[in-house]
Structure 1
Amino acid sequence: MPMLKIFVGTMYGGALDVAEQIQPLFEEAGYRVEIFDQPTLDDLVGSPTDLALFCVSTTGSGDIPGNLLPFVRDLEAKSPGLVGLRYGLIALGDSSYVDSYCGAGRALDELLQGQGATRLGERLEIDAMETFMADDAALPWVAEWIETQRLKVA
C-alpha cells in the first residue's frame, strides 16, 4: 500500500483540520496516510514517500507558520534534491492581505519545485474571505485531484 504523507503548516489549526478532513479520501483511494503537524525534513526524505500533500496557512506578511519553519529552513540549507517526489499543495490565506495572499504556500511550492519535486495539478488556494470552512473547498478539490491525477490505487 503506497504512503501519502501530509505535511501541515498551521498557526491556529485550520490547516491541520483540513488535513484531518481529507485523510479518509486518500485512505479510500488506497493509501496509508500519515499527518505531520510538526514536520521535519527527515519525515519527508528519511523514509519512502510515494506522494506528499502540503496543507499550509499563511501568517503575518506571507510568512511560513512557526511549526513548518524548521522543515523549510532544513530544506533550504540541506538542499536534498527532491527529484521523483510528487506532491500537491493546499494553501490557505486571506485575500484582504493582497501582497501576501497565500504567501507561505506559494513560497513553499516554489522551494519544492526548485528542489526538483513535481507538483501534480494546480495548487489549491483557499481564501478565508470567501470560504468560512476551508475543508468545504478542500474536500471537493482533493476528490477531483485524486481522479484527474489518477492517484487511486485501491
Structure 2
Amino acid sequence: MADITLISGSTLGGAEYVAEHLAEKLEEAGFTTETLHGPLLEDLPASGIWLVISSTHGAGDIPDNLSPFYEALQEQKPDLSAVRFGAIGIGSREYDTFCGAIDKLEAELKIPVQNRQAKH
C-alpha cells in the first residue's frame, strides 16, 4: 500500500497534472504514492492518507470523473476513521464558485464517523 493516495478530479486535465507533479515531489521526498484519476470509492484504500485534488466544473460542481466518488461518499457514508486527508482546489478567484468542488468534497470527507449513516 502506498504512503499517500492522490485522488484527482478534472475536466480539462489541470488537477491530473497537479496530482502527477505532487506525486513526483512526494516520491523524491521518500514517500510511496499511488495516483488515481477519477477513482471509484471501492478503488481506494480504507486507511492511510488521501490527497484529493480537484478543479471546479460549471457553477461549483464536482468534475464528471469524480462525481461517482462524491456520490458514493454521500450515499454509502463509509467509515473513514482510518483515513487522513488533504484537499487541494484548483480554479480562478474570478468566479463566485471558486474551489466550490473541493469545498464540497472536503465537507463530505470531514463528516465524523458517528454522523455517517448510510441512506436506506
Shorter-chain TM-score range: 0.7 to 0.9
The answer as to 2:27 corresponding to 1:12 is no
The answer as to 2:28 corresponding to 1:28 is yes
Structure 1 equivalent of residue 105 of structure 2: 108
Structure 1 equivalent of residue 117 of structure 2: none
Match for 1:92: what amino acid? I
C-alpha displacement of 1:2: 4.8
Whichever structure has more helix as a proportion of its residues is: 1
C-alpha displacement of 1:105: 0.4
Q: Which digits, 9 at most, give the CA deviation of each residue in 1:22-44, with x for residues without a partner?
A: 11221123322111112110122
Structure 1 equivalent of residue 70 of structure 2: 72
Aligned residues: percent identity?
A: 37
C-alpha displacement of 1:48: 5.0
Secondary structure at the counterpart of residue 114 of structure 1:
coil
Aligned residues: 113
Q: Give the alignment's TM-score, normalised by structure 1.
A: 0.68
Q: Give the alignment's TM-score, normalised by structure 2.
A: 0.86
Secondary structure at the counterpart of residue 82 of structure 1:
coil
What is the alpha-carbon distance in structure 1 between the residues aligned to residue 112 and residue 41 of structure 2? Answer: 13
For structure 1, the residue ranges without an aligned partner over 5 or more in a row are 117-154
Q: 80, 90, 93: which is aligned to 1:92?
A: 90
What is the alpha-carbon distance in structure 2 between the residues aligned to residue 103 and residue 19 of structure 1? Answer: 18
Secondary structure at the counterpart of residue 110 of structure 2:
helix
Q: Is the alpha carbon distance of 1:113 and 1:30 closer, same or farther for their aligned partners in structure 2, counting shifts above 3 Å?
A: same
Structure 2 equivalent of residue 59 of structure 1: 57
**RMSD, aligned α-carbons:** 1.6
CA contact (8 A) 1:79 1:115 kept: no
CA contact (8 A) 1:5 1:49 kept: no
What is the alpha-carbon distance in structure 2 between the residues aligned to residue 29 and residue 77 of structure 1? Answer: 36
